[in-house]
Amino acid sequence: MLKVNLKTHRKRLLADTSGQKLFVLLSIEVSKEVEERGKLFVSFVLDTSGSMSETVNDKSKIEIVIESLKKILESNILKDDDEISIVTFDDEVKIVLPFTAATEKEKIFSSFEQIRTGTVGTNLGAGMKVSLDLLKDKAGIKKMVVLTDGNVFDLDLVEKVLDELVFSNISVISVGVGDEWNEDLLCRISDRTLGKPLHLCDVEIESESSSSINISKLPYVFLNELGHATQEVVMNLEMGIELKEGFSLERITKIFPVQYEIMIDNKPYLLGNLESRRRNVYLLEFDVPSMPVSKVEMGKIDLYYQIPNADMKEKVGPFEIGIEFTKDQLLAVQTDQEVMDWVQQRNIEKIVSEAISQAHKSPEEAEKILGLARSLTIKLKNDNLTALLDKAIEEIRVKKYIGSSVAKTLKIGTKTQLLDHSKEDMPTDDDIRKATGR
């Protein structure tokens, strides 16, 4: 059912040396015979605070949201037994539509008349909690789509809801509109729940390379993201790792198709759902103890997953991770270029975050760090992200800071812009550590 490939960034490490890292690339694809998906449950959590009445291209933001929901129902993207619900939030939370089958179009269209802008409150946490209660006991693919154009009033509640979302295997598509929303929070929501952050802006986008999308394109955004959800044919993927004494797992990052960190506080590690005919790439980072000259099976990985309408979980594995320790420095420095390309992709997000935090204190240092990120995107042939960085570098040269809009676009872009890997030489890890002070 699953095609799994493991590859280490080095086949050999130096013997009798402490403080070394080993990066392991885990690539997973679903085999072609798995085509049937489970029932899809989508809960829309919509900001209806007063600012959503602001107009863009002669339509209010909330009118565009309603139009987008109508487009979903008018398309053939949902199966007859798929269900949607709608929850709105401002000062109060309201269930506009409990979960309703996609075939009940009249009932769903009637519910749109209840979506109205209200007060200035933005109680996102309360809205997510109500949506979670609607979703958590459903059996199938569970998605929450959050849309807000303002700063959240109840951050503590959002954090509490996140833990429940993770263990209920509910991923969140976080959609921020305009410039006032908290991009760090929405990125965190998507990270924790293995979802995706998106940025909608109020102005027309001239560049096709921008990670921002004009809000008028929201219908197509919803259709695209739900299209991916309808391709999820493997659910509740989990990973177990057994390691030889002295070796430790420090980090798991999903790098493709969207980049986010996998929580490693609890075992087994929750990896989410997998789409049909799409490669999913994870990067595992290990701390390696000092070892004598030897060949070591440092650990093994098992994967567990469910397919639609199956009561039991399937298992694939174990997959062994082996490494050789040598005194030969020339052998120890040889790296696998593909793995290193993915390592560098992961690092771009950290570099950009460091530049944004430095921008107000030291614009010159921030520009230098952005230049390093730009060199990585050029080597990786990621033209879209290079263009975003060019815009940020130009702004910091002229204004001596990075504005809110550009910062949000960069943060989303480092998570969602895909890379074509180059095999040419790239900045080293030491270059990156020096530039970021890490």
Q: What pTM, to 2 d.p., does this model score?
A: 0.86
pLDDT band at 57 (very low <50, low <70, confident <90, very high): confident
Residue by residue, DSSP assigns 365-376 as: HHHHHHHHHHHH
* CATH of residue 323: 2.60.40.3670
Domain end residue (candidates: 266, 298, 329):
329
Structure-model confidence comparison of residues 174 and 204, the more confident one: 174
Q: Which structural domain range is residue 293 located in?
A: 2-35+233-329
Which of 266, 301, 329 marks a domain boundary? 329
**Residue 218, amino acid:** L
Name the nearest CA neighbour of 165 among 138, 197, 205. Answer: 138
Give 234-253 pLDDT, tens digit per residue. 888 999 999 999 999 999 99
Instruction: Note whether 1 and 307 are within 8 A (CB).
Output: yes
Q: What is the pLDDT of residue 420?
A: 38
Residue with the two structure tokens 């060949």? 295
Compare 126 and 117 and report the one with higher pLDDT: 126
- Whether residue 357 sits in one domain with residue 295: no
Band of pLDDT at residue 266, cut at 50, 70 and 90 = confident
The pLDDT value given to residue 435: 52
Q: What CATH code is carried by the domain that includes residue 172?
A: 3.40.50.410
Q: With contact defined as beta carbons under 8 Å apart, do 280 and 29 qualify?
A: yes
- Sole residue written with tokens 């009561």: 311
- Residue labelled with tokens 């040419």: 424
55 & 89 share domain: yes
Amino acid at 263: M
Residue 422 pLDDT grade (very low, low, confident, very high; cuts 50, 70, 90): very low
* 67 and 197 together in one domain: yes
What is the rounded average pLDDT of the residues 416-430? Answer: 50
Are 25 and 55 contained in the same domain? Answer: no
- Are 57 and 135 in a shared domain? yes
Which tokens in the block code for residue 44?
Answer: 């829309």
Q: Are residues 92 and 114 in the same domain?
A: yes
Q: In the predicted model, is pLDDT for residue 431 greater than 80?
A: no
Q: pLDDT (tens digit, 9 = 90+) per residue, 151-192?
A: 888 888 999 999 899 889 899 999 988 777 888 888 899 989
Do 220 and 358 fall within a single domain? no
Total domain count, the chain: 3
Q: pLDDT tens digit string along 388-415?
A: 899 899 999 999 888 887 888 888 888 8
Last residue of a domain, one of 290, 306, 329: 329
**In which band, very low, low, confident or very high, does the pLDDT at 33 lie, cut at 50, 70 and 90?**
low
Question: Each residue of 349-382: pLDDT tens digit?
Answer: 999 999 998 888 899 999 999 999 999 989 888 8
Distances (CA, A) of 280 to 59, 217, 283, 411: 38, 27, 10, 21
105 and 237 within one domain: no
Q: Are both 120 and 27 inside the same structural domain?
A: no
Q: Write out pLDDT tens, residues 311-324.
A: 788 999 999 999 99
| 286 and 430 fall within a common domain | no
Cβ neighbours, 10 Å, residue 94: 18
Span 5-14, average pLDDT: 96
110 pLDDT more than 50 = yes
Please tell me whether residues 286 and 370 are part of one structural domain.
no
- Same domain, residue pair 305 and 411: no
Percentage, residues of the chain above pLDDT 70: 92
